[in-house]
Amino acid sequence: MIFVTGGTGLVGSHVLLKLAQQSKEFKALKRASSSLDVCKSIFTYYKADDLFSKINWFEGDMNDIPSLEEGMKDCDFILHCAGIVSYSPSDIQLLKKVNIEGTANVMNIALTSGIKKVGFVSSIAALGRNSISGIVDEECHFKATKIDSNYALSKYFSEQEVWRASGEGLDVVIINPSVILGPGNWAKGSSQIFEKIYNGLKFYTNGSTGYVDVVDVAESVIQLLFSDIKNERFIVNGANLKYRDCFDRIAVALGKTKATIKITPFLKEIIWRIEAIKFLITGKPPLITKETANSAMTKSSFSTDKIQAKIGFQFTNIDATINKYANWFISDQA
């Protein structure tokens, strides 16, 4: 039996779909207030409504110890996919509560519940990408810099909780996905890239990063969980692209105009401050924060040599990924 956290989110929903298609036995943790809409829409898209109806949902919370203890009974494995992605300064405490404390709780109960192995979905944000030049690999260890976001810090410290559990005898495997492209709530997380470009995103930067299909994220963590590999981490990245290149490809797939205004370092400082003022006046979350503005100016590339060598993993073509989710987004607007 597999215990899955984050099953109502983008990555977790695809993990549940993969497990269901493979006829694996699992139970999925969900909070009482969590919506099942994203998960259901993903199962429906892949014509798996019958599998969705059979999901064994377990009501609880990562910060509710008794519910974790009850949920992990009779389980052998954990796929820990839950986490908060936010670059808003107002969410610092939430990031700590969910990403760090929640992960610590999951690991602690796993250690006392006889769990055989944990698969953890971390992030490239937990790697030392801002402290080196050149291609980032699994040996690039995190060193905090002035441009690291609170989200990056939360993922680093949550990953440290997993390594701590590993040191205490729990077998673990960690994946570090790059920017995840996929469907779901188009107004949240990385999925909102499609919505912003559809609505006429005008700005681009010279920065670069990695992008990966959510299907590859789900498939890779499941493969690694059931492999003989333990106590290692793997970068999961479909392609390294400049932000402008990625945005242009999405714009073409959506039939929209490409961004034409280049953000300079000076313009960056003006934009995030204007957005911060708008937030104070309207209360509406800013489109760009100081953290996202800084991130968009950095240039990072990520190596996938390790996961390809260890399990022969092959990533989905990035253009196929973009076209698939662009069409999905358009169909959801009808």
Q: How many domains does the chain have?
A: 1
Question: For the segment 252-286, what is each residue's pLDDT rounded down to a tens digit?
Answer: 999 999 988 887 776 667 766 777 777 778 766 66
* Rg of the chain over all Cα atoms, to the nearest angstrom: 19
Which residue range(s) make up the domain with 205? 2-333
Q: Note the pLDDT of residue 238.
A: 97
Q: Note the pLDDT of residue 291.
A: 67
Measure the CA angle with vertex 188, ends 182 and 193; round to 5°.
Answer: 55
Q: Note the pLDDT of residue 130.
A: 64
For position 244, which CATH number holds? 3.40.50.720
pTM of the complete model: 0.92
Q: Note the pLDDT of residue 114.
A: 92
Q: Note the pLDDT of residue 272.
A: 64
Q: Note the pLDDT of residue 16.
A: 98
Say which residues have a Cβ less than 8 Å from residue 289's Cβ, sequence separation at least 6. 87, 88, 89, 272, 275, 276
pLDDT along the chain (334 residues), means of 10: 96 98 96 94 96 95 95 96 88 95 98 96 87 82 81 94 98 97 85 90 87 98 98 97 94 93 74 72 69 74 96 97 96 85
